Amino acid sequence: MALRPRVHAGSRLGATGGMCYLARHLLNMQTKPIDNETLLRQLRWRYATKQFDARRTISPADWQTLAAALVLSPSSYGLQPWKFIVVTDPAVREKLVPVSWGQRQVAEASHFVVIAIKKQLSAADLDTYLRRVAEVRGVPMDSLATYRGMMMGDLVEGPRSLCVNAWAARQAYIALGNLLTCAALLGIDACPMEGFEPPQYDQILGLPQHGLAATVACALGYRAAGDKYAAAPKVRFKPEDVILRV
């Protein structure tokens, strides 16, 4: 018996089958934009880079994407109690090295970002955010009164106002985590850094006059060929030791 092709080119079935495949492919792209292997490969590929190749810089397009990713970081209430300070002046970056435990990543990476928190969040800060909500979503400020009350009663006047800077710092670390993952997915190396003296950073970067405080930083760029840490096996607890099921 002659074998017949299962789908005739140009037949209704062929066209429909092709469309089904395309639809499935598009749906798959929508529901799963990155495959599991790629995600894990990039998370295993990344490491806290100690030595950067000072000659390599992140392309403007990649940097724009990373900057957008930073801005897209989620935060509690959506309040975004942060500023991302991109330190571009080489002289300032050199000045930061001695107050960063001598870590050269600060000066040698393509980009260096300090994540600063807005200190002692106030009613005015809430209103700045709520005006933005009203603008973006096209709703009147009045409609946000309950939401405002909740935030006031929690972070500005409530018990958590006593530790609101610690709350803001937690948000800063979310932005850091987001930045690290996004960089890894773009094949960009990074070193998360809290090995620095925050008061010195504040002073060098002129942060206190803006009500800001340096909280955590991140050097970004490309690993130097000789960075021995790149080849060091990643040390993580076994999944069964850190993922508990109840």
Ligand X SMILES: Cc1cc2nc3c(=O)[nH]c(=O)nc-3n(C[C@H](O)[C@H](O)[C@H](O)COP(=O)(O)O)c2cc1C
Applying CB under 6 A, the residues found at the interface with ligand X are 47-48, 50, 103, 191-195, 216, 234
Residue 153 Cβ, how far from ligand X at the closest point, in Å?
A: 31
Q: Which residue is nearest to ligand X (CB)?
A: 195
Which of 79, 172 has the CB closer to ligand X? 172
Which of 111, 148 has the CB closer to ligand X? 111
Task: Give the number of C-alpha atoms closer than 13 A to the C-alpha of residue 71, restricted to the C-beta side.
Answer: 7
Secondary structure in 3-state letters for 71-110: HCCCCHHHCCCEEEEECCCHHHHHHHHHHCCCCCHHHHCC
Which of 152, 169 has the CB closer to ligand X? 169
Which of 49, 156 has the CB closer to ligand X? 49
Residue 217 Cβ, how far from ligand X at the closest point, in Å?
A: 8
Residue 209 Cβ, how far from ligand X at the closest point, in Å?
A: 26
- Residue 221 host element (H or E): strand 212-221
Task: Give the number of C-alpha atoms closer than 13 A to the C-alpha of residue 92, restricted to the C-beta side.
Answer: 16
Alpha-carbon separation of residue 54 from 16, 51, 73, 104, 155 (angstroms): 54, 9, 28, 10, 42
Alpha-carbon separation of residue 167 from 25, 114, 121, 159, 162 (angstroms): 42, 18, 10, 12, 10
Three-state SS at 151: helix
| Cα 90 from Cα 107, distance rounded (Å) | 7
Residue type at 82 in one-letter notation? W
End-to-end CA distance of the chain: 59
Which of 102, 159 has the CB closer to ligand X? 102
Residue 171 Cβ, how far from ligand X at the closest point, in Å?
A: 13
Residue 178 Cβ, how far from ligand X at the closest point, in Å?
A: 12
Residue 119 Cβ, how far from ligand X at the closest point, in Å?
A: 19
Which of 51, 126 has the CB closer to ligand X? 51
Could you tell me what percentage of the chain is helix, strand and coil, using 3-state DSSP and rounding each to the nearest 5?
55, 15, 30
Residue 194 Cβ, how far from ligand X at the closest point, in Å?
A: 4
Which of 50, 210 has the CB closer to ligand X? 50
